[in-house]
């Protein structure tokens, strides 16, 4: 299953809190696609994946809206 969330307009730490909550609700192997515009999310999401054992499948840091795909 893939879930999409949009955190555009939210500022740190809100995007991270939203992603953490959504990842908890996913089954192992499911993916979460996230759109964000807070530059700190690139670092925050990488650290979350490393710390929680998730996999960063893809990240697009070009443009005003950043995009991430993470797997639980």
> Per-residue pLDDT for the chain (72 aa), expressed as one digit of tens each?
899 999 999 999 999 999 999 999 999 999 999 999 999 999 999 999 999 999 999 999 999 999 999 999
What values do phi and psi take at 10, rounded to 5?
A: -85, 145
Alpha-helical segments (H) within 1-72: 14-24, 40-52
pLDDT at 43: 96
Q: Where are the domains of the chain?
A: 2-71
pLDDT at 9: 97
Q: What is the pTM of this model?
A: 0.94
12 given a catalytic annotation: yes
Question: Of 8, 12, 18, 69, which one is the catalytic site residue?
Answer: 12
**Which CATH number does 2-71 carry?**
3.30.110.40
22-27 own/partner pairs: CB under 8 Å, 24+ apart: 23/48, 23/52, 23/54, 23/70, 23/72, 26/1, 26/72, 27/1, 27/72
């Amino acid at each position: 299953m893939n879930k999409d969330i949009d955190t555009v307009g939210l500022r740190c730490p809100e995007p991270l809190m939203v992603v953490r909550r959504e990842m908890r609700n996913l089954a192992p192997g499911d993916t979460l696609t996230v759109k964000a515009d807070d530059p700190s999310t690139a670092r925050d999401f990488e650290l979350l994946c490393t710390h929680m054992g998730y996999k960063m499948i893809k990240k697009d840091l070009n443009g005003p809206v950043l995009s991430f795909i993470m797997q639980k």
